[in-house]
């Protein structure tokens, strides 16, 4: 036989036992790697979901804060002062946003507990806020009491006929519906006092509702309803994944926050908002959620 055809001495293949041991060791290493990957993946998903939930909470608090800080205020005076507020709307007390003005500027904030607000989710709290918006402001340059016309500047104020407006000076404020608007001329009803003179201020009435309700997609969201002109707009979905909202209130001179049942609305100085938000992703079969609280001071009552 040719020497080159003869097998080398000392060389052999793997035995079946050695092959099985190698496979088992490989599976152990692969299993450990897969386990670490899944663990890291779950951790990353949970971290990303919590970050998203916290960012959503920040957005929700910021939007609510913009409305709450102005609750009960008008440009001429802060709430709780002796600046008397009259409501001369023909349908006053017929709907919720016409109820502001029963005495003084102390009103303008109303809370509801455990789903008491119609349309809100059972067990959740809700808010109604009213104020004189600073988004559109006009200053009175002349008041024609005979023809019931305010002449204002600027003429580009943005008001329209039938808008719900507030006129104020340092002594009084009145909520009324504009009869007609033509540039710098704003006609008001006869029920508005003739005492408003030059340097009075006109603003649009601002009214909002905040509540939690089902969003029609199997979850719940935070909603806002805003009065536009003289009618309520459609509910606006502000934040998806909000399963609960709890509200407590700090009365003037008090040290503890209370529920709406014992809140003294004219003296409320701060609102503590607690939102429970659910993440979209599930980790280990469970929904990731986080409850976040934020305290909002009513600027119109603490200025």
For strand 201-214 and strand 220-228, is the pairing parallel, antiparallel, or unpaired? antiparallel
Which value, to the nearest 10 degrees, does the dihedral of the CA atoms of residues 159, 208, 266, 212 take?
180
The CA-atom distances, in angstroms, between 3 and each of 7, 9, 29, 123 are 9, 12, 43, 92
* Helix residue spans in the chain (DSSP H): 16-68, 299-302
Overall average pLDDT of the 168-190 stretch: 91
Q: Confidence class of residue 107 from pLDDT cuts 50, 70 and 90?
A: confident
What is the C-alpha separation between 21 and 89, in angstroms, rounded? 89
What pLDDT score was predicted for residue 117?
93
Give the total residue count for the chain: 303
What pLDDT score was predicted for residue 135?
74
What pLDDT score was predicted for residue 285?
57
Average pLDDT, the chain: 83
Does residue 202 surpass a pLDDT of 90?
A: yes
CA nearest 111: which of 260, 265, 211, 223? 260
Overall average pLDDT of the 100-125 stretch: 83
226, 236 contact by CB (below 8 A): yes
Which stretch of 198-207, 208-217, 277-286 has the lowest confidence by average pLDDT? 277-286
What pLDDT score was predicted for residue 267?
86
**Burial category of 297 from C-beta neighbours within 10 Å (exposed 0-12, middle 13-18, buried 19 and up):** middle
Which stretch of 98-102, 114-118, 177-181, 182-186 has the lowest confidence by average pLDDT? 98-102
Residue 11, phi then psi, degrees to nearest 5: -105, 140
Overall average pLDDT of the 228-255 stretch: 90
What is the C-alpha separation between 69 and 82, in angstroms, rounded? 20
Q: Confidence class of residue 90 from pLDDT cuts 50, 70 and 90?
A: confident
Overall average pLDDT of the 221-248 stretch: 90
Q: Confidence class of residue 40 from pLDDT cuts 50, 70 and 90?
A: low
Residue 57, phi then psi, degrees to nearest 5: -60, -40
What is the C-alpha separation between 74 and 299, in angstroms, rounded? 11
Does residue 282 surpass a pLDDT of 60?
A: no
| Helix, strand, coil shares, percent, the chain, to 5 | 20, 40, 40
Overall average pLDDT of the 115-124 stretch: 94
Residue 34, phi then psi, degrees to nearest 5: -65, -40
Q: Confidence class of residue 283 from pLDDT cuts 50, 70 and 90?
A: low
180, 147 contact by CB (below 8 A): no
pLDDT in tens, 142-173: 999 999 999 999 999 989 999 999 998 888 88
Does residue 105 surpass a pLDDT of 60?
A: no
Does residue 126 surpass a pLDDT of 70?
A: yes
Which value, to the nearest 10 degrees, does the dihedral of the CA atoms of residues 28, 34, 39, 42 take?
-160
User: If you average pLDDT over each of 78-92, 103-117, 281-295, which comes out highest?
Assistant: 103-117
């Amino acid at each position: 036989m040719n020497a080159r055809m003869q097998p080398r001495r000392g060389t052999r293949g793997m035995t079946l036992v050695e092959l099985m041991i190698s496979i088992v060791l490989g599976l152990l290493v692969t299993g450990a790697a897969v386990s670490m990957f899944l663990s890291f993946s779950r951790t990353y998903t949970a971290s990303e979901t919590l970050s998203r939930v916290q960012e959503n909470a920040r957005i929700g608090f910021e939007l609510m804060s913009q409305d709450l800080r102005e609750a009960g205020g008008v440009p001429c005076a802060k709430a709780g002062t002796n600046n008397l507020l009259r409501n001369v709307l023909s349908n006053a007390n017929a709907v919720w946003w016409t109820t502001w003005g029963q005495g003084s500027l102390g009103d303008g904030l109303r809370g509801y507990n455990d789903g008491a607000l119609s349309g809100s989710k059972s067990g959740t709290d809700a808010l109604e806020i009213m104020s004189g918006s600073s988004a559109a402001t006009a200053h009175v340059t002349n008041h024609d009491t005979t023809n019931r016309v305010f002449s204002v500047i600027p003429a580009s104020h943005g008001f329209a006929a039938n808008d719900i407006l507030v006129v104020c000076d340092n002594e009084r404020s009145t909520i009324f519906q504009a009869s007609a608007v033509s540039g710098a001329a704003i006609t008001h009803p006869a029920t508005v006092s003739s005492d408003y003179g030059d340097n009075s201020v006109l603003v649009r009435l601002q009214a909002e509702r905040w509540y939690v309700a089902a969003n029609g997609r199997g979850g719940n969201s935070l909603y806002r309803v805003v009065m536009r002109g003289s009618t309520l707009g459609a509910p606006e979905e502000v934040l998806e994944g909000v399963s609960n909202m709890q509200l407590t209130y700090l009365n003037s001179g008090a040290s503890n926050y209370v529920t709406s049942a014992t809140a003294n609305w004219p003296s409320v100085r701060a609102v503590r908002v607690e939102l429970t938000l659910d993440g979209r992703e599930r980790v280990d079969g469970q929904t990731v959620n986080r409850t976040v609280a934020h305290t909002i001071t009513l600027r119109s009552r603490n200025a």
